[in-house]
Amino acid sequence: MAFLILADGTLFQGKAIGAKTHALGEMVFNTSQTGYQEILTDPSYFGQIINFTTPHIGNVGVNQADHESEKIHAAAAVFRDYSPHFSNWRAQDSLENFLLKHHIAALTEIDTRALTLHLREQGSQNGCIVTVDSITPDQALSMLQSAPTMQGSHLATLVSTKKAYLYADPIDALAHIVVVDCGVKTAILKTLATYPIKISVVPDTISFTELTSFSPDGVLLSNGPGDPESCESVIHLASQLLEQQIPVFGICLGHQILALAAGAKTRKMKFGHHGANHPIKCCKTGTVFISSQNHGFVVDERSLPEHLITTHISLFDGTIAGLAHRNAPAFSFQGHPEANPGPNELMILFKQFFSRGAVCQKTLILRAFW
């Protein structure tokens, strides 16, 4: 029997596809209508089981170009209706073969609407997917009782690069950006590479001395999985960057890390934001953007020090979606301006990172827009 069981004992039976195994992780739901391949390969989903709310998954297969990393990082996946027959001119393989290649289990024929409503009401919790006959629901539930929760989990270092590498070095480079990899998506690097800049990617364990040896004109703190408060070394690094007035742009987990470095606190959300249709409002102009979101933690608005300004808010629940520092050239966004999947309306944030400080003079922003 193939099944999913949640930590509270709720059981869903389904049909197994992908690897014959079992997997534990935090159960979350994603409301994106497209982009299942990008979502599965996003390192931010490390340690999570994804419930896809869009009913048909697998229709367009998979292809090498749309990977957000070299492998599937999600622990497992749940679908309402898996399509074994795919059709797209870019497709190179089926989703099931892709799951098998990376030894990832998935369930189909699950009532994903009921599962989503349960998570919405009860909150995200650990779950266990079982696609082998040797494990019973009671045994799986026993495994869940001893499984770590997402709160307190330091996962970013598990998906970060182990060695620094050069991603781009165009001959007309006007600046050097160092990306601190906490689980960076390929789309972020590709977006950066559309600008005439040198791009270096470094591990999340890098020290301030090691980082400054790259002579960066700016630093990007990337997205990634896990509890931001557990990223102590990166938080310390970010605080030194702020102190030394080195321009910083934080994305998703990087946004939370920047906030922690500036003296704010974060908190776990009930079920998080996971989707590509989230409305975000710019506090200065009132402009509304549709954004791609993927986070289970948020900066606590009650903890903001005076030197942090809220630049964007979520129109779903009013949580902080963007911050800027009053006294340092640093700003951040709680979401994915690079999209993939999702709308690219917030690509303006990358432009802001470069153009406001006149890249032609090899300097980046000296203030965020507020």
Query: 3-class DSSP state for residue 277?
Result: strand
Q: Is residue 297 annotated as involved in ligand binding?
A: yes
Catalytic pick from 182, 231, 252, 282?
A: 252
The 3-state DSSP composition of the chain as helix, strand, coil percent (nearest 5) reads 25, 35, 40
Catalytic pick from 273, 274, 278, 336?
A: 336
Q: Is residue 44 annotated as involved in ligand binding?
A: yes
Question: Bridge partners of 311?
Answer: none
User: What does the alpha-carbon distance between residue 18 and residue 117 come to, in Å, rounded to a whole number?
Assistant: 25
Residue that the structure tokens 């933690």 belong to: 297
Query: 3-class DSSP state for residue 263?
Result: coil
Query: 3-class DSSP state for residue 78?
Result: strand
| Structure token pair of residue 79 | 């679908």
Query: 3-class DSSP state for residue 134?
Result: coil
Q: Is residue 63 annotated as involved in ligand binding?
A: no
Catalytic pick from 38, 68, 229, 338?
A: 338
Q: Is residue 224 annotated as involved in ligand binding?
A: yes
295 is catalytic: no
336 is catalytic: yes
Looking at residue 1, the DSSP 8-state letter turns out to be -
Q: Is residue 275 annotated as involved in ligand binding?
A: no
Q: Is residue 226 annotated as involved in ligand binding?
A: yes
* Contact by Cβ (8 Å): 103, 9: no
User: What does the alpha-carbon distance between residue 15 and residue 2 come to, in Å, rounded to a whole number?
Assistant: 6
252 is catalytic: yes
| Structure token pair of residue 336 | 């994915």
Known binding residues for L-glutamine are: 44, 224, 226, 253, 256, 294, 296-297
Known binding residues are: 44, 224, 226, 253, 256, 294, 296-297
Catalytic residues: 252, 336, 338
